[in-house]
Amino acid sequence: MDPEKQKQITMYFIEEAKEHLQTIEAGLLDLESMLEDPETINEVFRAAHSIKGGAAMLGFTSIQHLAHILEDHFKVLRESSKISVDQELQTLFLKGFDKLQELLDLLQGPFGLTKDAGEAVVKESDPIFAQLKAHFERLLNGQTTTVPDTSIRVPETPKLDLKAMEAAFQSDIPVKLRDMLQLFKQPDSPNTRQNLQTICTQLINTGNQFKLSKWCEMIDAVRSVVSNPNNQFRVLAPIVIKEVKQAQELVLRQRPQEIAISAQLRELIPAPEVPLRSEPSVDDLSDFFAAAPSVVTAPPVEDKATKQWQNLGDRLGWRKQGAWISTAALQFSNAAPEGHLPAPIWLSAWEKPKSSQGEDLKTQYAALIAKLSDCNI
């Protein structure tokens, strides 16, 4: 089939599947009422059946598999209307539904539904549906869930599912790392950086699932550096991939508390934004130029005005990794289009004390302030 035609059909399937998922979720959220309405049960059954059929036609075997399992259970509900519904049954149904929805989200995502990703979700869903089947059998046999002991107890800390964590970090994380590496090989663009941030969010969600606070802190730092357009891919790629890989190995060794943000990664984290003053006065301009160092060999002046200027340079991309960009080839133009900043030829002269270009610097700075006012920022 023509790739463009295949893509179009897949989009139709996704849109239709979303509507079917809404029907299923609405029924499961009010499971007891659904059992009292045969038409609603039929709608939920047909929704699962439609998803199964569409997935089978397009070759999405993982979606077909989970939709088929749900369809079978809805069939049992339809034929056993006297079954006693309890909270555990609803919870297990919703967990299975979430896995089906996760597959559809992957299909719609930037990387599509790969075979490895689909198999990983199906594997995660197997215990859920096994519990659902066993609980169904108990309810059909007239057995009820054991009434919990209501005596006062000291709450126990939930035990971490080490097997599930190990499975996730052995299968899911390498897939995400490969996806990140492929994105780093692509041309730098806002869309590529957004996709990298999406992967970071998914990695954080995995960490939250297993309460890995150090992992989440490190991935959040990665998300911050990949979102900064001043950090080039050729610099980011080796640092980020190595950072995530090392953290993954620590988790697999059950030493997640040793995860730490490296010095290399920390250097790439953008400085916090500082709000700009909207209407600088003549006094502000005088204070601004007075903040420049008076001797070439003197250390940088750590006063408020200098810091504000450096932060402005960071935010506008005029400084990279703590140094002003080279402006030798740039020409200042006071006639820049409305909404654009003038070329910053004056940057190279900023930290040169007693520069012979001092008067030009003041003139150009005044032009910058006027242009900033035109930009309404």
DSSP per-residue letters across 4-28: HHHHHHHHHHHHHHHHHHHHHHHHH
Give the strand pairing for 323-324 and 319-320: antiparallel
Q: Can you tell me the distance from the alpha carbon of 276 to that of 168, in angstroms, rounded to the nearest whole number?
A: 44
Whether residue 205 sits in one domain with residue 250: yes
Whether residue 226 sits in one domain with residue 286: no
- Kindly give the confidence (pLDDT) of every residue in the chain, 377 residues in length, as a single tens digit, with 9 standing for 90 and above: 677 888 889 999 999 999 999 999 999 988 888 888 889 989 999 999 999 999 999 999 999 999 999 999 988 888 876 677 788 888 999 999 999 999 999 998 877 888 888 999 999 999 999 999 888 888 877 755 443 433 333 344 444 567 888 888 988 898 999 999 999 999 999 999 999 999 999 999 999 999 999 999 999 999 999 999 999 999 999 999 999 999 999 998 888 999 999 999 999 988 765 555 555 544 444 444 444 444 444 444 445 666 777 777 777 666 777 776 654 544 445 554 444 455 454 444 444 444 455 555 566 666 676 666 665 54
pLDDT in the model for residue 78: 84
Whether residue 101 sits in one domain with residue 18: yes
Whether residue 291 sits in one domain with residue 253: no
Q: Can you tell me the distance from the alpha carbon of 358 to that of 348, in angstroms, rounded to the nearest whole number?
A: 12
For 174, other C-beta atoms within 10 Å of its C-beta total 13
Q: Phi, psi at residue 165, to the nearest 5°? A: -65, -45
Q: By C-alpha distance, which of 253, 255, 216, 222 is closest to 239? A: 222
For 31, other C-beta atoms within 10 Å of its C-beta total 17
Contact 309, 272 (CB under 8 A): no
Q: Is residue 155 part of a domain?
A: no
Q: Any idea which residue has 């940088």 for tokens? A: 300
Whether residue 299 sits in one domain with residue 175: no
Whether residue 259 sits in one domain with residue 174: yes
Beta strands in the chain (DSSP E): 319-320, 323-324
Whether residue 132 sits in one domain with residue 26: yes
302: its two tokens: 């750590």
Classify 55 as helix, strand or coil.
Answer: helix
Whether residue 186 sits in one domain with residue 234: yes
Q: Any idea which residue has 């199964």 for tokens? A: 52
Q: Is residue 264 part of a domain?
A: yes
Q: Which domain holds residue 105?
A: 3-140
Q: Is residue 156 part of a domain?
A: no
Q: Can you tell me the distance from the alpha carbon of 79 to that of 31, in angstroms, rounded to the nearest whole number?
A: 15
Q: Can you tell me the distance from the alpha carbon of 318 to that of 323, in angstroms, rounded to the nearest whole number?
A: 9
Q: Can you tell me the distance from the alpha carbon of 216 to that of 278, in angstroms, rounded to the nearest whole number?
A: 37
Whether residue 319 sits in one domain with residue 244: no
Classify 339 as helix, strand or coil.
Answer: coil
Q: Is residue 277 part of a domain?
A: no
Q: pLDDT for 101-114, tens place per residue?
A: 999 999 988 778 88
Residue 288 to residues 76, 186, 223, 283, 307, Cα–Cα distance (Å) = 76, 41, 34, 8, 10
Of 268, 303, 329, at which residue does a domain stop?
A: 268
Of 268, 300, 318, at which residue does a domain stop?
A: 268
Whether residue 193 sits in one domain with residue 82: no
Q: Which amino acid is at 70?
A: L
Whether residue 294 sits in one domain with residue 236: no
Q: Is residue 202 part of a domain?
A: yes
pLDDT in the model for residue 149: 39
Q: pLDDT for 259-271, tens place per residue?
A: 999 999 999 988 7
| CATH code at position 70 | 1.20.120.160
What is the domain count for the chain? 3
Whether residue 213 sits in one domain with residue 287: no
Q: Is residue 335 part of a domain?
A: yes
120: its two tokens: 């990983």
Q: Can you tell me the distance from the alpha carbon of 376 to that of 367, in angstroms, rounded to the nearest whole number?
A: 15
Q: Is residue 216 part of a domain?
A: yes
pLDDT in the model for residue 285: 42
Q: Any idea which residue has 């003041």 for tokens? A: 362
Indicate the burial class of 255 (C-beta count within 10 angstroms; 0-12, 13-18, 19 or more): exposed
Q: Is residue 275 part of a domain?
A: no
**DSSP annotation string for 58-125:** HT-HHHHHHHHHHHHHHHHHHH-TTPPP-HHHHHHHHHHHHHHHHHHHHHHSTT---HHHHHHHHHHH
